[in-house]
Amino acid sequence: MPDTLPADSVGLVQAETLHFDQPLALDCGQQLNQYEIVYETYGTLNEDRSNAILIEHALSGDHHAAGYHSMEDRKPGWWDNFIGPGKPIDTNYFFVVSSNNLGGCKGSTGPTAINPETGKAYGPDFPIITVRDWVNSQKLLADMLGIDVWCAVIGGSLGGMQVMQWAIDYPDRLKHAIIIAAAPKLSAQNIAFNEVARQAIMSDPDFHEGRFYEHDTIPRRGLMLARMLGHITYLSDDAMREKFGRELREGKLNYGFNVEFQVESYLRYQGKSFVDRFDANTYLLMTKALDYFDPAGEHNHDLAATLKHCTCRFLIVSFTGDWRFSPGRSREIVNALLKSHKQVSYSEVVATLGHDAFLVPTPAYHDVMKHYLLRVAGKL
């Protein structure tokens, strides 16, 4: 609870909501007749509207990427380390837009929103959303905001996949694509982890086939398990060793099934606190968007051909300790870009943390982002 906000913070911010009345056709064949997108902005749009950056969030992220909602906030937005005056995504130069994805649970239309056709929450009737659907909706958001060309679109993990889709589907609408800790598609193992998470949620008796709002309950156990499992994949084995080792919470074995090792305590805490801030139907949708992402699938599985019409420059970043989307997965993107003669920079950052490294300003990563974006801003 800071008395004053840090000098390099974007300060107090407030979400905006845009209402869309034109139907949005979705990959699944359904359409959303009307929907809302909630977003935040940081910095100032310049006169020729050429300094706008779009931030893409990952699975459990949202539009609140930087700054504080009130002086009482304990924590700033999820990427506050990267967005602000003097930070890599420097609000002295850039106008930053960060939106909540459709299907989300933080303000944009999703399963918890009221379906105008029934007067009840969508719940499981909310259509399956794809990365392409998100990018289409964000393109309409850009139109509404009067941003013809993003000077950069930036995202990590599932956010990086959205960046890639932007570069493929709207090549004239962005100048730079920064794709961090991502992959051109999920591996079978990635899908397998998502499937266990989904089964955990869907097999919870409190799930009620997704209509748990009507039963005034939450599939608490399932969502907790899904989140615990997620956290294992966000950290490397090394990072877990450094963070927890085999430390016992009470200094001795208790020969029972209560928490014994610190890592158990950490996971249970992460799982429990997630349940109160995230919607289970949204979690299911996000995992499906991950599973389905495979832009090369429509191009005979030729990623270079898929990227052929891209015109932006690329920065690809990966982290050595990431086993969810390992550097090898980023190199698949880099190699495909090189093969189709695109301008690409690649940085493989030594970071033991794991997948979560994309959220953390380790010096090498921070500097790569800062210098790339200073060039984008014409300041280098």
Q: Quote the tokens at residue 62.
A: 């949202």
Q: Of 186, 275, 290, 353, which lies in the binding site for a copy of itself, with binding defined by CB under 8 A?
A: 186
Distance in angstroms (rounded) separating the CA atoms of residues 380 and 151: 16
In contact, 198 and 284? CB cutoff 8 Å: yes
CB nearer to a copy of itself: give 163 or 239: 239
Q: What are phi and psi of 183, to 5 degrees?
A: -155, 155
Asked whether position 245 contacts a copy of itself by CB under 8 A, the answer is yes
Q: Of 22, 34, 92, 203, which lies in the binding site for a copy of itself, with binding defined by CB under 8 A?
A: 203
In contact, 226 and 283? CB cutoff 8 Å: yes
Site string for a copy of itself, 133-172 (x = CB under 8 A): ----------------------------------------
Asked whether position 191 contacts a copy of itself by CB under 8 A, the answer is yes
> Which of the stretches 5-13, 17-25, 168-176, 222-230 binds a copy of itself when contact is defined by CB under 8 A?
222-230
Neighbours of 16 (CB within 10 A): 15
Q: How many residues bind a copy of itself (CB under 8 A)?
A: 54
Q: Of 17, 189, 273, 343, which lies in the binding site for a copy of itself, with binding defined by CB under 8 A?
A: 189
Residue 375 carries which DSSP code? H
Q: List 188's β-bridge partners, or say none.
A: none
Site string for a copy of itself, 94-133 (x = CB under 8 A): ---------------------------------xx-----
Distance in angstroms (rounded) separating the CA atoms of residues 53 and 65: 13
In contact, 278 and 285? CB cutoff 8 Å: no
> Which of the stretches 22-30, 53-61, 89-97, 136-144 binds a copy of itself when contact is defined by CB under 8 A?
22-30
Cite the active site residues: 157, 322, 355
Q: Of 71, 192, 360, 380, which lies in the binding site for a copy of itself, with binding defined by CB under 8 A?
A: 192
- The helix (run of H) or strand (run of E) holding residue 18 is strand 16-20
Task: Please name which of 100, 98, 166, 105 lies closest in space to residue 131, comparing C-alpha atoms.
Answer: 166
- β-pair type (35-42, 16-20): antiparallel
Nearest approach, Cβ of 111 to a copy of itself (angstroms)? 13
* Torsion over CA: 116, 25, 58, 326 (sign): positive
Asked whether position 185 contacts a copy of itself by CB under 8 A, the answer is yes
Scan for tokens 């615990």, then name that residue.
228
Asked whether position 332 contacts a copy of itself by CB under 8 A, the answer is no
Q: Calculate Rg over the CA atoms of the chain.
A: 21
Q: Of 143, 148, 172, 237, which lies in the binding site for a copy of itself, with binding defined by CB under 8 A?
A: 237
Put residue 146 in one of left, alpha, beta given phi > 0 → left and psi -120 to 50 → alpha. left
Site string for a copy of itself, 246-285 (x = CB under 8 A): x------x-xxx--xxxxx--xx--x------------x-
- The contact set with a copy of itself (CB under 8 A) reads 27-29, 127-128, 185-189, 191-193, 195-196, 198-200, 202-205, 221, 224-225, 228-229, 231-232, 235, 237, 240-241, 243-246, 253, 255-257, 260-264, 267-268, 271, 284, 288, 291-292, 294
